[in-house]
Chains A and B, each alone.
Chain A
Amino acid sequence: MKLSFGIAARFLRSNLTQTILIILGIGIGVSVQIFIGSLIQGLQKSLVETTVGNSSQITVTSDSETGSMKDYKDLMNRIQAADIRIIHISPVLDNPAIIGGQDETQSVLVRGFDLSKADTLYRISENIKSGRLPRQKGEVLLGTAIAEQFGYREGDTIQLVTPTKETVSCTISGFFDLKVAQINKTWCIASLETAQAMFQTGDTVSAIEMQVGIDRVFIADEAAANISSKLGTGYRVDNWKAQNVQLLSGLQGQSISSLMIQICVMVSVVLGISSTLAITVMQKSRQIGILKAMGIRNSKASLIFLMQGLILGVFGALAGVGFGIGLSAAFVNFAVRADGTPVVALFIDQNFILLSGIIAVLACLAASLIPARRSARLNPIDIIRNN
C-alpha cells in the first residue's frame, strides 16, 4: 500500500502539468455538480417555502353538511396525540362577508383565528405593515391590497355584511402583507371570538389547520393519512401535497433533470480520467515492467494506478468543492435582483457537498480500474525485449 502510494505520488509529481490538468478537469466537473445541485435545491426549497411555509399544511374539516365543529378543543388534543409530528395547530372559523361602501363592494373571507396559535402558522405579526393584531372584540386586521383599494386607515370603522344580510361594524387594528396577492386582497383576520359573534355560530369552528414544519413538509400526506385513520369517520383531512399535485410533479421533474445533469457531468469526468489514466499506463509501462522484473506483485502494480486515481480524486474533489462554493458565492453576489437579494437563494448543504466529494473520489477510483487491470496484465518481458 505504502509502496504503491509512494510510486503513484512520484509518478504524478514527475508529470506535474498533466496532473494539474487532470485535477482541474475533475474539479470543474465536481464544481458544476455542486453548483447545479445547490441551485436546484435552493430553488425547490424556496418554492416549497413560499407555497406552504406559512400556511396550513394539513387541514381537518367536518364531514357534516354545515361543516361546523363544536368539539374542536378536544379534537385538537386528539390530533396532537395522533401524530407527534404536528407542530403548529390552530382552529379557524371561516365565513364570507361583503366589505365596502355604497360605490364599491368586495367579498372577503373573514377568518376567525385563535390568534396566538395562528400566528405561529401564518406568521401574521411578522408581516404586519402597520398597526397590530386584533386584541379586542370587534377588531379586524386587513390586507394591504384592501387598504389601498378602499383607502382605509388604521382605526377606521368599517361595515361588514354577513351572508344573513346583517351589517356588523368593526375597527381596523392594522394591515398585513402576507406576500400573496390573493390573501392580501381577500382575508379579513379577526379573533375567533369576534368571528363567532359576527356570524352567530356559537363556540364552533369550521376547520383545524396545522403544520408539520418546513423541513418535514413532504411527510404531510403521511401524517394526514395517519390523523385521518385515528380520527375515524366524520372528518375530512386534506394535505398540501394532494392540493398541489402540479407543483409536486414540477419539483420532481426538476429534481430528475438536475440529477441527470449531475450524472452526465460525473460520467464525462470519469471517462476523461479513465482515458487519461489509460494513457499514463502506456507512458509508465516501461517503469511497470522494470518494477515487475524486480519482483513487484501484479496486485501492487495495479494498486499504483488505483492510488493515482485516489490522489487525483481527492485533490480533484477538494478543488471542486472550492470552485463550487466560489461559483455559488459569485452567483449569490452577482446574480441579484434590484433590491440586492439573490435571484435564487442557493442552498448550501454540507452533506450534499460531502456526498459530491465522495462520489468524485469513488468515480476516480472506478475510472482507474481499467488502467489498473492493464497494469496488472503488463508482462515485463515485453518491456525488456522491446526496450
Chain B
Amino acid sequence: MENVIELRGINKIYGSAVKTQVLYDISISFGKGSFSSIIGQSGSGKSTLLNIMGTLDTPTTGEVLINGVSTTKLNANKLASLRNQSIGFVFQFHYLLPEFTALENVLMPHRIEAGSVSKEVRERAREYMKLVGLEKVMDNKATEMSGGQQQRTAIARALLNNPPIILADEPTGNLDSASTENIYELLRDINGKMGTTFVIITHDRRIAEKADRIVEITDGRINLDLYKN
C-alpha cells in the first residue's frame, strides 16, 4: 500500500537549557486510506507526534514525508498550503473561531485557499454539517454551541477541503459515549467512502479497537504496533 505519511527517525527535544526529549527515534508510516489509532498515557508524546505529522511542529532530527514529499525543505508558505490542501485537523479543544458562525468556521479552510466561497462549496459545507447532525445550529456562533456540537463542527471543517489525510487528537475527548460512537461511525464512514487516511489519538481502548491499526506510544517510543485484519 502506498504511504501517505512517513516518519523517518524522528527525535523531538524541548528546551535548550533543560532538555527534555519527548520522542525517541520514531519511524512509522501510514498507508493510503488506512484508519489508525494512536494510544498512550498522558505525556507519552502522542500529541507531539501527531503535530509533527501534521507539520505544525518540527522534529529536532528526522524527516516527515507527506505524499512522498519531504517537508523538511518546504518554506512556510508551501507548508501552509500543504496543510490547507492535504491535512484536516480535529483537535481535542475544537479550536473554532468564536467570532464566526458554525457554517463560517466550516467554510474557513476553503476561504483560506480560494478567498471567496462559491454556491457549490457552501452547499457542500451544509451537506457536511448535516452529515455531522448540525443542520439546526449552522448559523450559531461557535460560542453558542455545546461541546459536542463544537467538536462536530471541527470535524466538518476538517472534511471540507476533502483532504487525503485527517489527523485527530482526542476528537471525542469530551463527548458522551453515544456521541462518541456516532462520531466514530461517521469517521469510518468517510474513510470508507472517500478513502481518506485517518490517524486518531484516543485514550479510549474501545474506540482504538475499532481502528485497523493500533499504535501505542510509551515514553516517546513505539511500544506496540498492531494491525487488525
Give the interface of A toward B (CB within 8 A): 1-3, 6, 10-11, 13-14, 286-287, 289-300, 380-381, 384-385, 387
Contact = CB atoms under 8 A, between A and B. Distances in A.
Contact of A295 (B99, B113, B115, B116): B113
Given A14-B99, A294-B84, A296-B80, A384 B91 contact: yes
Given A381-B57, A384-B56, A385-B51, A295 B100 contact: no
A245 to B, nearest CB: 61
A235 to B, nearest CB: 71
Interface of B: 47, 51, 54, 56-57, 76-77, 80-85, 89, 91, 93, 95-100, 108-109, 111-113, 115-116, 157
A294 B91 contact: no
A384 B76 contact: no
A297 B80 contact: yes
A298 B56 CA distance: 13
A289 B83 CA distance: 13
A87 to B, nearest CB: 57
Contacts of B85: 295
A294 B116 contact: no
Given A294-B112, A381-B51, 16 more contacts: A3-B112, A6-B111, A13-B99, A293-B91, A293-B95, A294-B89, A295-B80, A295-B81, A295-B82, A295-B112, A296-B84, A297-B77, A299-B77, A381-B57, A384-B56, A385-B51
B112 A296 contact: yes
Given A3-B112, A295-B85, A14 B80 contact: no
A6 B117 CA distance: 12
Nearest to B82: A295
A299 B47 CA distance: 28
Contact of A11 (B80, B96, B99, B112): B99
B98 A3 contact: no
> In terms of DSSP, what is the predominant structure of the interface of chain A?
helix
14 contacts: A290-B97, A291-B112, A293-B54, A293-B89, A294-B83, A294-B157, A295-B83, A296-B84, A298-B80, A380-B56, A381-B51, A384-B56, A385-B47, A387-B93
Contact of B83 (A1, A293, A300): A293
Contacts of B54: 293
Contacts of A6: 111
A14 B115 contact: no
B121 to A, nearest CB: 14
A373 to B, nearest CB: 14
Given A287-B99, A298-B80, A385-B51, A293 B112 contact: no
B112 A14 contact: no
Contacts of A298: 76-77, 80
A371 B100 CA distance: 22
Nearest to A301: B80
B89 A2 contact: no
Q: Which 6 A-B pairs have the closest CB atoms?
A: A295-B84, A14-B99, A295-B83, A381-B57, A290-B95, A295-B80
Contact of A2 (B99, B113, B115, B157): B115
Contacts of A2: 115-116
A290 B112 CA distance: 12
B183 to A, nearest CB: 20
A295 B109 contact: yes
B113 A14 contact: no
Nearest to B51: A381
Contacts of B56: 293, 380-381, 384
Contacts of A14: 98-99
Nearest to B163: A295
A287 B82 CA distance: 19
Contacts of A287: 97-99
A156 B77 CA distance: 95
Contacts of A385: 47, 51, 57
A384 B51 CA distance: 9
A298 B80 CA distance: 8
Nearest to B96: A290
Nearest to A4: B115
Contacts of A293: 54, 56, 83, 89, 91, 95
